[in-house]
Amino acid sequence: MKFIENFFQGIRPDFEEGGKYYKWATPYHTFFTFMFTPDYVTKKGSHIRDSIDLKRALFMVIIALIPATLYGMWNLGYQHFLAIGETASLMENFWFGFIQALPMILVSYIVGLGVEFLFALKHHEGLQEGFLISGLLIPLIMPINVPLWMVAVATIFAVVIGKEVFGGTGMNIVNIAITARAFLFFAYPTKMAGSKVWIDLAGETAADGYTGETALAIAIEGGTEAVNAAGMSLMDAFWGHIPGSIGETSTVAILIGAFILIYTGVGSWKIMLSAIAGGSIMALIFNWLGGSYFPDNLYLQLNWMHHLVLGGFMFGVVFMATDPVTATQTETGKWIYGFFIGLLAILIRTVNPAYPEGMMMAILFMNIMAPMIDHYVVEANIKKRMKRLKAAQAAINN
Amino acid sequence: MSNAITIKRGLDIKLKGSADKVIGNVPPSDVFAVKPADFLGLTPKLAVKQGVEVLAGDALFYDKKNPDVIIPSPVSGEVVEIKRGAKRKILEVKVLADKEIKYRDFGSVDPKGLSTEQVVEKLVKSGLWSLIRQRPFSIIADPTARPKAIHISCFNTYPLAPDYDFIMEGKQALFQKGIDAITKLSDKVYLGLNGKTGFSKPFESITGVEVNYFKGPHPAGNVGTQINKIAPINKGDAIWYIAPQDVMTIGRLFESGKYDASKIIALTGSEVKGPQYYEVLSGVKISAVVQDKVSNDNVRYISGNPLTGTKVEDNSFLGFYDDQITVLPEGNQLKFFLTDGWFGLGLKKFSVSKTYFNWLMPNKEYALDTNLNGELRSFVMTGEMEKVFPFDIYPMSLVKAIIINDIDAMEKLGIYEVDAEDFALCEFTSSSKINIQQIVRDGMENLREELY
C-alpha cells in the first residue's frame, strides 16, 4: 500500500491551491479520499471522533442492496426463460439477467457521477457520496425494458433538478431515485407500465398463453384468486419469482437488506415498521369494505398480506422511505412519516384506476410533507418549553 | 432527602490509559500561568505589570466589564512575562514562583457565622469568586445576583476522567466548610452523586445540601445534564455551578485565610507511561507534569478530557478549571481504505453505530487517535445525535437554528438549557464530522452579546 500512498502524496502539491493541476482538484481529491481516509486531525471540539463517516454509512446501504440486486438479476433470467417457455439452470438465469441489468447500472452511475463531477468542479469542492446509493437504486426500480438513453435522461433530470439545484447532497427535498422514476413515468408512460415492459424477451417470441403482466395488474381484474392462479401466490411473491422492476420482487432479499440497515443503525426501523403497519391497516380496511359493500371490486379484496409482498411496497419501505435526507428528522416524526407512506401507498394503489401501483407517489408525497411533520413535532416541544417558562414567570410574579 | 435519576441516552467511551489510584508529586516547577481564554466572556484588564512581585491570591487581571471578577495568582513571585497574541490579545500571564510560596492573608473565619454579603465579599476579594460559574453561557457568575440554585456534580463520566471519590477521600471537613460558604449564596445547593456506585464516601455525609443520584452513561456526570433533569433552565434564569475540588479550595480559604491553589489532577491517555494522579498547583506547566512520561513524540496534549479539553503545547499551562491532562496519539496518518479505512472490517476502530465490527468486543479499551476519521459533509444521517443526547430538546433543529443565527428560534428550541460541552457526544458520533461544539459555543456567544 505504501507505493500507492507515496504516489498520491507525491502528486498532492500539484492539486492544491496554486498547483499546476488545481482545476482538477475535484477528481484527484475524490480518488485520493476513496483510497485513503485523509490525515485530517481534529482542530476544534472533541479530540477523538467516531470511526463512522458518510462513506461507511452509505456503503452499508450498498451492502444491504446486494441481496436484492443479485436476486433481481437471477429473476430477470428466470422470467425470460419462463416467458419463452424454456427452462434454464441457476447460472444461465443469473447470467442472462446480469448481462441485461449491468448496462443500466453502469449508465446510471457514469451519467449521474458525471453530472455530479461537473457541479463539484464548478464549485471547486470534493464529491459527496450521496449518489453512490442513488446510482444503484435508479436501475433497481426500473422495468428491464427501459432503453438506456431513457435511464440516462432520467438520471440527469434527477441529479440536476432533484438535487443540485437545492444545493447537492443532504439538501434535496425528494428522493433522487424516485425523482428519476417519476420523470420517466410521466414523460414516457408507455415504457413504464403495461404488460410488455417487465420481461425481456430478447427478441424471442413469448410462449402461448404468456401475458407478462405483473401481479398487481392481474389483481385489478381478478383479485386474490386470479393472482394465485397466475402462479403468484403469497409465498411465490414472498420469495420473489414474479415479474416486476429489477430489485423489487423478492421480499426475502429485501428483508435481508432491512436487517443489515437496522442492525448497523443506518436505516430507521421506526419508518420501516410504521410503514408496514400503515399499509396493513389500509389494506385491511379495504378488505373489509370490499367484502361488505363492494363485492364486485376484486382489487379491494386482495389479501392484505399479499399487498405487502407485491409490487414495490417492501423495496420502497426499506430503501426509499428510509433515505435520511428526505425523511423526517425527528424520531417522533419518523413514526408518522412511515405510517402515512404505507397507508397512502395502498390507498393510491387501490383506488387509482389508471395504474396499479402507488408506492412511488406515496413516497414523493410524504417527502414533501416531511418538513411539515417535523415542524409540528418540534412545535410541540417548543410549546412545552413556553408553558414551563410561563409557569415559572407566574410563580415569580405572585 | 435524595432522589435517584436514571439517564438513558448517552455513551461511555472506553479508552486506554486511565489513571492508577496513586497520587504522585511533580518536580517543583518555576513558571506558572493563568490564561484569560479559560474564562468565557471575560475581557481581561491587567492588574499587574511585568516585573512586579505578587503574593498567592493577588489579582493578576480582572474583568473590564465587571471589576469585581478578579483572577488570582496561584503562586507568589515575579510576573515575568505577559504573553500577547494578535491584536495584543493577552494569552498568558506568567509568574515565576518563589521557592517558598507566600500568601496574601484574607483572614480565617467560619462561614457559618457570616452573612451572604460577607461571604460574597470574601470570595470576590480573594479572587476565588472566579471558581463559581453560571449556566447559561458558562461565564463567571455575577456577584450581585442570587441564583435559583447551585449545582455541584461530584462525579465525572468523561472518558478517562478523574475519580472524585478518590481525590476527595479524607477531605470531608474542608469540603463541608466550602459548602457552608456556598449555601449562603443560594437557597438551594444540589450535589449530584454517582448512582452507579451508589455510595460515595467523601460526599455522603455532607450537610446543608440536597443530594441526587444519577445513574447511566456519560453525560450523567455533566452538571448540565443534572441541572436539566432536576429543573431545566428557563429564559432569564441563572444556575450556578462549581467543581468539587474548587469547593474545597473555597473551604481552605475560610479555614486558613489563604488561596491555596493546590489540586489533584489525573494524567491520562494511551500515550502516557504509568498514568496516575498528581498533586499540582493551578496553572502548572504541562511539561512539568508530563516530562519523561510520554512514550513518543507524535502526540497531542490536552488540558482536560478527550471530548471537551483544550489542545495545548507541552510548554503551555494547565487550564484554570481543568483537573486532567490527556495525552493521545496524533492521527495525522493516512488510512488505506481496505485495511484501516472505510472499507475494512474495522476490528481496531471504535464506532457507536454497528457499521464496524468493533461491536463484537464491547469491553475493549481503545487507543483512539485524533484523526477526524472522514471529511466534513452536509447533514445526512438523522437520529445519531438523539441517541447520545439526554435532553428534551431536538438537537438537530437547535444546531441548524444556531447555524443560521436565528436567535428567536434558538431560544424557543432550548438553547438556555445547554452548553457546548453537552453536545460533545453529538459531535463525537457525527458521521458528517461537523464541529457541533464550536457551533453551539458561537451561537451562545452571539446570544450573550444580544442580551447584555
Q: How confident is the model at residue B51 (pLDDT cuts 50, 70, 90)?
A: very high
Is there a single domain that holds both residue B164 and residue B229? Answer: yes
Is there a single domain that holds both residue B237 and residue B282? Answer: no
Mean pLDDT to the nearest integer, B81-89: 93
Is there a single domain that holds both residue B88 and residue B131? Answer: no
Cell numbers given for A293: 359493500
- Using the beta-carbon criterion (under 8 Å), do B369 and A48 form an inter-chain contact? yes
Residue B224: name the closest of B414, B413, B7, B417 by CA: B417
pLDDT tens for each residue of A263-288: 999 999 999 999 999 999 999 999 99
- Per-position b or e across A360-373, b if 16+ CB within 10 A of its CB: bbbbbbbbebbeeb
Percent of the residues in chain A that have a pLDDT greater than 90, as a whole number: 56
CA neighbours within 13 Å on the CB side: how many for A29? Answer: 20
Q: What is the CATH number of the domain that holds B234?
A: 3.40.50
Residue B134: name the closest of B149, B115, B155, B119 by CA: B149
- Using the beta-carbon criterion (under 8 Å), do A37 and B436 form an inter-chain contact? no
Is there a single domain that holds both residue B250 and residue B285? Answer: no
CA B7 to the chain's CA centroid? 20
A119 vs B: CB within 8 A: no
Predicted confidence at residue A228, as pLDDT, reads 83
A384 vs B: CB within 8 A: yes
pLDDT tens for each residue of B360-403: 888 889 999 999 999 899 999 998 999 999 999 999 999 999 99
- Which of B234, B349, B435 is facing A392, going by the closest CB pair? B234
Predicted confidence at residue A195, as pLDDT, reads 73
pLDDT tens for each residue of B200-245: 778 888 889 999 999 999 999 999 999 999 999 998 889 999 999 9
pLDDT tens for each residue of A177-186: 999 999 999 9
Q: What is the ipTM of this complex?
A: 0.92
Could you say which DSSP state residue B62 is in? E
- Using the beta-carbon criterion (under 8 Å), do B333 and A39 form an inter-chain contact? yes
Q: How far apart are CA A45 and CA B350, in angstroms?
A: 18
pLDDT tens for each residue of B97-122: 998 999 999 999 999 999 999 999 99
Predicted confidence at residue B1, as pLDDT, reads 46
Is there a single domain that holds both residue B244 and residue B151? Answer: yes
Which one of B75, B97, B119 terminates a domain?
B97
Tell me how many degrees the CA angle A73-A77-A79 measures, rounded to the nearest 5: 110
Q: How far apart are CA B116 and CA A17, in angstroms?
A: 61
Sign of the alpha-carbon torsion through B382, B385, B389, B394:
negative
Find chain B residues with C-beta within 8 A of A59's C-beta.
Answer: 342-343, 355
Amino acid type, B217: P
- Which of B354, B370, B378 is facing A170, going by the closest CB pair? B378
Q: What is chain A's mean pLDDT, rounded?
A: 90
Q: Is residue B201 part of a domain?
A: yes
Position A356 pLDDT exceeds 80: no
Residues in chain A: 398
pLDDT tens for each residue of A80-101: 998 888 888 999 999 999 999 9
Q: How far apart are CA B2 and CA A209, in angstroms?
A: 79
A380 vs B: CB within 8 A: no
Q: Is residue B124 part of a domain?
A: yes
Position A50 pLDDT exceeds 50: yes
Which one of B97, B118, B140 terminates a domain?
B97
Please, which residues have CB within 8 angstroms of residue A18's CB and are 6 or more apart in sequence? none
Q: What is the CATH number of the domain that holds B62?
A: 2.40.50.100
A10 vs B: CB within 8 A: no
Is there a single domain that holds both residue B306 and residue B423? Answer: no
Is there a single domain that holds both residue B81 and residue B116? Answer: no
Q: How confident is the model at residue B73 (pLDDT cuts 50, 70, 90)?
A: very high
Could you say which DSSP state residue B1 is in? -
Residue A160: name the closest of A99, A116, A108, A105 by CA: A116
Position B2 pLDDT exceeds 70: no
Is there a single domain that holds both residue B310 and residue B444? Answer: no
Determine the distance in angstroms separating the CA of A34 from the nearest CA of chain B, rounded to an integer.
7
Cell numbers given for A172: 434535496
pLDDT tens for each residue of B151-175: 999 999 999 999 999 999 889 999 9
- Using the beta-carbon criterion (under 8 Å), do A34 and B337 form an inter-chain contact? yes
Q: What 3-state DSSP class applies to A4?
A: helix
Number of domains in chain B: 4
Q: Is residue B303 part of a domain?
A: yes
- Which of B307, B372, B377 is facing A41, going by the closest CB pair? B372
Q: Is residue B351 part of a domain?
A: no
Structural domain span for residue B316: 20-27+261-329
- Using the beta-carbon criterion (under 8 Å), do A48 and B428 form an inter-chain contact? yes
Q: How far apart are CA A188 and CA B40, in angstroms?
A: 62
Which one of B256, B278, B299 terminates a domain?
B256
Position A72 pLDDT exceeds 70: yes
Is there a single domain that holds both residue B243 and residue B302? Answer: no
- Using the beta-carbon criterion (under 8 Å), do A51 and B349 form an inter-chain contact? yes
- Which of B234, B331, B394 is facing A381, going by the closest CB pair? B394
Q: How far apart are CA B285 and CA B313, in angstroms?
A: 10
Q: What is the CATH number of the domain that holds B316?
A: 3.10.20.600
Q: Is residue B343 part of a domain?
A: no
Cell numbers given for B44: 481581561
Mean pLDDT to the nearest integer, A232-250: 89
- CB neighbours of residue A289 within 10 Å: 14
Is there a single domain that holds both residue B41 and residue B132? Answer: no
Instruction: Determine the residue among A47, A164, A372 to mutate to test chain B binding: the one whose Cβ has the most chain B Cβ atoms within 10 Å.
Output: A47
Could you say which DSSP state residue B19 is in? P
